Amino acid sequence: MALGNHRPYYHICTFALFQKALRHQTINLYSVTKILSGYSNLTQRLVTAIIGAAAIIAGVAYGEWTYFAVFFVICFFSLLEFYKLAGLDGLIPLKTLGTFSGITLFALSFFIERNTISPRYYLLFFPLASLVYLVKLYKKTERKPFTNIAFTFLGIFYIAVPFALLNHAAFENGYYNYEIILGALLILWASDTGAYFAGTLFGKHKLFERISPKKSWEGFWGGAALAIAMTYGISLYFQSLTIVNWLIVSFLIIIGGTFGDLVESLLKRSIEIKDSGDSLPGHGGFLDRFDGLFISAPFIAAYLEIF
């Protein structure tokens, strides 16, 4: 019998399997933490950065499907981490539905930008996300259901939308080009690295003490200097953008990445925690590592599309 005659049943089964996998994860992503726990924070940070960067660079550079797999995983665990943090603050967002809606949006964006499916399939996302309202109608014991609804949507908007916009930057007329994505990541990492070491060695003047007491102007300028140096090197090898456009993208990443870090610090400060998680030794969690992308990605996608 044709699958088309059983589409509702098929989607229910798909969601049920997703929910089961979410509840009973068999892969322990935190095992590396135990191995590195005996080393200094700097050692943990360097080892995690080398392994993580190598995996991401290889995935992005190898091809569109490995790129998709890498960012699907990052998007998935970033969403899980966000909803876990919301739960620590006494909120009850719909973790499963929010995560499923977010990665669905990312996947739809990928296949649409790849010209595999029509842009009209974006419309599938909206009824899926609207199920949040219906589910909350039957949660009788919740005191603030609309606050929980708002945080469910915030996770999607804060995390999944920027990742979906990365797909727009990764494809041009349906063809995958790794240069912009890889270049943006290298610039972001250079900015983070420069800010970390410059702030650690020379940091005296607070950048935004109310939100993040450890961040300094010295760290900001150190990150900006290393990011600009990386941008120049990238422009020599990646010809998808002119040097001027690369510098503008670099500026958007430096500013957007800094504000992304501060926004995530604001989230953690409101919950009174130091790190968003412990899955990435020396770095904290997925939100700690990729917070710069959440703010800079929309600006990069908008700039590349309009200009």
Q: Summarize pLDDT for 37-64 with one digit per residue, the tens.
A: 565 666 777 877 788 899 999 999 999 9
Q: Flag whether pLDDT at 196 surpasses 50.
A: yes
User: φ, ψ for residue 277 (rounded to 5)?
Assistant: -175, -175
Can you give the pTM of this predicted structure?
0.85
In the three-class reduction of DSSP (H, G, I as helix; E, B as strand; rest coil), residue 174 is classed as coil
Q: Angle formed by the axes of helices 95-113 and 145-155, to 10°?
A: 30
Distance CA 20, CA 177 (A): 35
Q: Summarize pLDDT for 80-125 with one digit per residue, the tens.
A: 999 999 998 889 999 999 999 999 999 999 999 999 999 999 999 9
Q: Note the pLDDT of residue 25.
A: 43
Q: Summarize pLDDT for 204-232 with one digit per residue, the tens.
A: 999 998 898 889 999 999 999 999 999 99
Instruction: Give the mean pLDDT of the chain.
Output: 87
% of the chain beyond a pLDDT of 70? 83
Whole-angstrom CA distances from 167 to 156, 159, 181, 256, 295 are 16, 13, 9, 18, 15
List the end-to-end C-alpha distance of the chain, in Å, as a whole number. Answer: 50
Average pLDDT over residues 1-20: 48
Distance CA 83, CA 88 (A): 9
- Residues 189-202: b if buried by 16+ CB within 10 A, e if exposed: bbbbbbbbbbbeee
Name the amino acid, one letter, at 98. G
Beta strands in 125-248 (DSSP E): 171-172, 175-176, 206-208, 212-216
Distance CA 166, CA 298 (A): 8
